[in-house]
Amino acid sequence: MSYLTSNPPRLLTPAFTGSGNVWYYSSADAATTVDTSGYITNGGNLGIKVGDVVIVNDTGTPLITTHQVISVSTTAPGAVDLSNGTTIGASTNSD
């Protein structure tokens, strides 16, 4: 799949100042696809900033990862580059 501007990341927690906002993004795309540079094409227009955190819910696997915003293009609409993800939740259950 690919990013759809009709399903953008949602702001969960705004920072008091500067960067540090927490965003949530849910898609069937794998986290490794979402953290490809430029996957989120309109991040600048959404207000995403370098240093923000994006929680990605991969509904296809399912898997939840966190990513830090590495860069946001200054050219509108502001493509985003996310760091590699850190898994914080997976669908495995050993009981």
What's the pLDDT score for residue 17? 80
Q: Per-domain residue ranges for the chain?
A: 10-90
Q: What Cα–Cα distance (Å) separates residue 11 from each residue in 23, 38, 49, 55, 93?
A: 4, 19, 12, 10, 29
Q: Do the beta carbons of residue 19 and residue 52 sit within 8 Å?
A: yes
Q: What is the pLDDT along the chain (95 residues), one digit of tens a residue?
A: 699 999 999 999 998 887 799 999 999 999 999 999 999 999 999 999 999 999 999 999 889 999 999 999 999 999 999 999 999 987 777 77
What's the pLDDT score for residue 90? 78
Q: How many CA atoms lie within 13 A of 26 on its CB side?
A: 5
- For residue 28, give the DSSP letter: S
pTM of the complete model: 0.91
